[in-house]
Amino acid sequence: MLLSIMLLSMKSDNDKKDLVCHRWILFAYKQNSAISTIAIDKSQQECFYKADGTYQEVIHEHQLDLKITGNWFFNSDQTKLGRVMSTMNGLTLPTDQDSTKRTDYVILKLTNDTLIYEHEMVSNYKFDWYFVRKD
């Protein structure tokens, strides 16, 4: 019985990781406590979470092209994501001396085709980001 419970628990953890590990296209956002979302051009931002714990984000906005790579991780109960950038447009970013893993992306919804998270930012700014699965 105990083995069954442990296996089910491990499967649940892997299921959430399996749901996250895809290419996601941003299609809308909502700032702070706004009532409605703001739709955006789907070609503006794409994020790819990989099973090995790395991610790649590509942003095309106002004639600005950014390609960011780094590492991603869950908090202990897998309700939040954390990300640490390592490169931007091919340039290695300095490593932060603070080794605390911050998980400031609260997962609001995660299904086979939808990822919605709230990014808790400094100064009480919060954004909800709405993604649809690309692959």
Residue 121's Cβ-count burial label (10 Å; 0-12, 13-18, 19+) is exposed
Integer Rg of the chain from CA? 16
Task: With CA atoms as reference, report the closest residue to 104 among 85, 79, 123, 86.
Answer: 79
Q: Is pTM, for the whole model, over 0.85?
A: no
Average pLDDT over residues 35-49: 89
Average pLDDT, the chain: 85
Fold adopted by 2-133: Lipocalin (2.40.128)
Confidence band of 135 (pLDDT split at 50, 70, 90): confident
Domain boundaries, the chain: 2-133
Confidence of residue 42 (pLDDT cuts 50, 70, 90): confident
Give 61-107 pLDDT, tens digit per residue.
878 899 999 999 999 999 999 999 999 999 999 887 766 678 889 99
Q: Which helix (H) or strand (E) holds 25?
A: strand 23-31
* pLDDT value for 123: 66
Q: Span 4-25, mean pLDDT?
A: 71
Overall average pLDDT of the 33-59 stretch: 91
Write the CA distances from 119 to 31, 52, 95, integer angstroms: 10, 22, 21
